[in-house]
Amino acid sequence: MRTLSKVRWSDLRPDDFLRRQGECPVVYLPIGLCEPHGHIAALGLDTLKADYYCEEAATRFGGIVAPTQGYHIHECGFHKPWLDEVVGDTNPLMAGMPPQVICYHFLYQLRAFANAGFHAVIVVSGHAGGSQKDLRRVADAFTKRTRIPVVVKTDPEWGGYEGDHAGAYEISQLLAIHPEAVDLSLLKRMDEEGSGGRRALGVDAAEADPVKGKEINETIIAAIGTTAKELRVGAALKESIGYQEIEEIWSAVLSLGDWWSMGEG
Ligand SMILES: [Zn+2]
């Protein structure tokens, strides 16, 4: 059974929630998804990273971790040919959705955070590649209307490092967080013909190293902490936001044109 956390919205009683929120009115939203990261790593690598960074940041710097968003934008735009190339005919075991579904849901998540009394939102996406631009479009529209700051960054954007997909960076990160989620003895494992073989494993995954992973992870957590300190000084909403107002913000978002994630990347 999972051990309850002292920083998770879902695990706190109201008194404890309000005390934590009073000390630091920042909410963290971890976002990830399930997608292939080679035979060697857990499918939820992106989610596991995001959860870890948010929980560590809340523990060290204050604030509360929102329920994790475990689905992300995928299988559209440039993702589609990428998937065909790296997993071929094999079932990718994917928890992906199109941008309009994720972004609409995201907007209502922001509403929930603002109505619960948070002054600021920090979104940590373990999935990179550009779809964060669509989330930022929503975040900016929400901030414009409510003045609640929302920072959306993928893990490489926090850490100022390049990042990769299931390569030396990402596998190092996971090795440092959950070594049990990685089995390097499967590095040479290939699928049958037509599968793309490697299940999206990065070419340099064999160079993964938990010491390097820890260094990357600590840089990211420190950067999130700096942002949390800057944002905690804001103000809560004076009145809660209703569905109608959110629908108006959504219309404004849609008027901005096509989603980045539907393009060629
Ligand atoms: Zn990943």
pLDDT of residue 160: 78
pLDDT band at 179 (very low <50, low <70, confident <90, very high): very high
CATH superfamily name and code, 9-160+218-247:
Creatininase (3.40.50.10310)
Ligand 1 midpoint to CA 94 (Å): 12
CA gap 32, 51 in Å, rounded: 8
Mean pLDDT of 58-75: 96
Ligand 1 midpoint to CA 189 (Å): 19
pLDDT band at 23 (very low <50, low <70, confident <90, very high): very high
Ligand 1 midpoint to CA 92 (Å): 13
Mark out the alpha helices in 62-203 (DSSP H runs): 79-87, 99-115, 132-146, 155-159, 168-177
Ligand 1 midpoint to CA 238 (Å): 38
pLDDT band at 194 (very low <50, low <70, confident <90, very high): low
Percentage of residues in the chain having pLDDT higher than 90? 79
Digit-coded pLDDT (tens) for 196-221: 678 889 989 999 999 999 999 999 99
Domain locations in the chain as residue ranges:
9-160+218-247
Ligand 1 midpoint to CA 83 (Å): 13
Ligand 1 midpoint to CA 70 (Å): 12
Ligand 1 midpoint to CA 116 (Å): 31
The answer to whether the Cα torsion of 17, 20, 156, 38 is positive or negative is negative
pLDDT band at 193 (very low <50, low <70, confident <90, very high): low
CA gap 50, 8 in Å, rounded: 13
Q: pLDDT: is 124 or 193 the higher one?
A: 124
